[in-house]
Amino acid sequence: MPYRVTFVCTGNICRSPMAESVLRHHVENEGLDVEVDSSGTDGWHAGDEADDRTIAALRRAGYRSAHSARRFEASWFDRYDLIIALDEGHLRALRAMAPDEEARGRIRLLREFDPEAGADLDVPDPYYGGRADFDLVLELVEAAMPGLLEEIRAGLKAA
């Protein structure tokens, strides 16, 4: 059975699809049995592709993007081994939705996996910004990948 990871941001068009694409790239390159997807705490953009600026940032860095936005559903908690929030607001929303303590224990912040992150664990929302804001989000996502991959490998061994 594959290890399942999902990323959650607000509208599922900027941060979480970016993290999804980056992690998918890494697990495919390593041949890890991991399913990766993403969603949002809100459904405003359900059915939309990732933001054009997200897609552009990913392409500049050599990543692919194939995405359709959706809203995270409370019934999905049993589906995932790891649910990764992109900021504290998403973390709070997911914890409030979680059916029990076990589900809440699977929710983490992405930047927890970056040892250089410091005290600010939020990935800022680039939606109202420009290219530099999207590039910064990609940089923060990439910085968390080694630690996240280590967590995933440990989860695969424990399964």
34 backbone φψ class: left, alpha, beta (φ>0; ψ -120 to 50)? beta
Instruction: Kindly name the residue from 15, 24, 53, 106 that is annotated as catalytic.
Output: 15
Cα separation of 115 and 158, whole Å?
23
Q: At what angle do helices 131-158 and 15-30 cross, to 10 degrees?
A: 50
Handedness of CA 66, 18, 50, 109 (dihedral sign): positive
The reply to whether 15 belongs to the active site is yes
**Residue 83: phi, psi to the nearest 5?**
-120, 115
The reply to whether 9 belongs to the active site is yes
Instruction: Kindly name the residue from 4, 48, 71, 125 that is annotated as catalytic.
Output: 125
Report, as residue numbers or ranges, the catalytic residues.
9, 15, 125
